[in-house]
Chains A and B, each alone.
Chain A
Amino acid sequence: MAEAFKFELVSPERLLVSAEVESVVIPGAEGEMTVMAHHAPVMTTIKPGVVTVKNSSGSEERYVVFGGFADIVPAGCTLLAESAVAVKDVDRADLARRIQEAKEDAADAKDDQSRSKAEQFLSQLTTLEGAILPA
């Protein structure tokens, strides 16, 4: 059995998770990554996606996060999410609204750089929607 480490999931409104866990899958900006104990110190931004937390007891919990960043040190991992909810509590309407907003942003973008950024964000959101909502 893998060693446990401290994981904290914090949103601006509250502290969602603070527990000893076995591993955490983080949707990093440059690809998903699994964090386990004694991970090398990494700081990464995260994209909208699903965070999977595997508790020491073996049970799994999944949270949806919309952007933020993760601070990983050997002793633990802190995830500062812009907004985070447990997968089972995801509000479809809210997600749809975010996608709509992202679409508008993409349409309004003035230059190529901001357009590609907005489109990237939009595609991340739609992927996320596909991943958590049963078709």
Chain B
Amino acid sequence: MPSLKDLRNRIASVKATQKITKAMQMVAAAKLRRAQEAAEAARPYSERMGSVLANITQAVGGGGDAPALMTGTGKDDVHLLVVCTAERGLCGGFNSQIARHARDHIRRLLADGKQVKIICVGKKGFDILRRDYASMIIERVDLREVKTLGFVNADAIARKVIHLFNEGAFDVCTLFYSQFRSVISQIPTAQQIIPAAASSAQPESADGASAVYEYEPEPGEILSDLIPRNIAVQIFRALLENAAGEMGAKMSAMDNATRNAGEMINKLSITYNRQRQAQITKELIEIISGAEAL
């Protein structure tokens, strides 16, 4: 049976923890709002990019001059997985969900006899995947120093990926991230970025996409300029979604922690009060029985 002093100490420490989790929850809420705003602000660009890309693909018509980034190498022996996770923990199952999704995918690929290479964005995913697939991790991108995610960060990753592709280091590239649905729901998603999945691009029909465009320079040339940029945009979007998802997951995780701490404090307080009462009763009995003995 813990003494009164022990109980008091425990209550104090749980209270301190509760304060911390409460503060973290509020910080996450504020950051979530900012992350959501950033994700929203980035949406017009990626949407326009999508429609422009669809238009131009139509113009090129998937002919022979489409760049390799779009058509692929024609093989799918070597797979590159870009796994985007958070830099920090304490956000519930967020990181492990993405990692599990990636791991399932890796296992499937390995079972099919493919070769797998991994680029880890974010520390947590690296820590998890390192346990099983350390030899496959070829790169690790650290974004811990980055305060606000900029397009430059995504561009740097995209450049690495494209560089590897041009060297022929892989055939298919898949991006793993967590899609932000709401504060309580983030969906781990796999998205193939090289070769670009053509079906996702629907030509925009509203303002006369069939209109004959003039291209400056040639469509093929624009396309070869556009596709790398599109990859960067996809990665940027994934990073932003991840940032929002991380904060959402952290918020609900910290909310749970705060509630648990509250419950614990209640239970401990009841035990503490009971024990105190028991001690008072005991002392009274001692006094009364002492008085009676006289």
Task: Give A contacts to B, CB under 8 Å.
Answer: 8, 10-15, 28-30, 40-45, 68-69, 71, 73-75, 78, 80, 82-83
Contact = CB atoms under 8 A, between A and B. Distances in A.
Nearest to A18: B44
Interface in B48-91: 48-49, 52, 55-56
Contacts of B229: 68, 82
B292 interface: no
Contacts of A42: 213-216
Q: Which 7 A-B pairs have the closest CB atoms?
A: A14-B41, A12-B151, A44-B216, A42-B214, A41-B213, A10-B45, A41-B211
A80 B222 CA distance: 13
A14 B42 contact: yes
Contacts of B38: 13
A79 B219 CA distance: 17
A45 B56 contact: no
The prevalent SS among residues of B at the interface is: helix
B120 to A, nearest CB: 23
Identify the interface centre among B41, B216, B219, B226: most chain A CB within 10 Å of its CB. Answer: B216
Contacts of B56: 43
B207 interface: yes
A100 to B, nearest CB: 15
Contact of B55 (A12, A29, A43, A75): A43
A68 B55 CA distance: 16
Contact of B216 (A12, A43, A83): A43
Nearest to B149: A13
A15 B214 contact: no
Interface string B204-236: 000110011111110101100110010011001
17 contacts: A12-B154, A12-B233, A13-B41, A13-B42, A15-B45, A28-B216, A29-B216, A41-B212, A41-B214, A42-B213, A43-B52, A43-B219, A44-B217, A71-B48, A71-B52, A71-B55, A80-B48
Given A82-B151, A83-B151, A10 B44 contact: yes
A83 B154 CA distance: 13
Identify the interface centre among A12, A29, A71, A74: most chain B CB within 10 Å of its CB. Answer: A12
B222 A69 contact: yes
Contacts of A41: 211-214
A45 B212 CA distance: 17
A128 to B, nearest CB: 18
A8 B207 CA distance: 15
B150 interface: yes
B211 A73 contact: yes
Given A43-B214, A73-B208, 19 more contacts: A10-B44, A11-B151, A12-B46, A15-B41, A15-B45, A29-B216, A29-B217, A41-B211, A41-B212, A42-B214, A43-B52, A45-B216, A45-B225, A68-B229, A69-B226, A73-B211, A75-B207, A78-B48, A82-B229
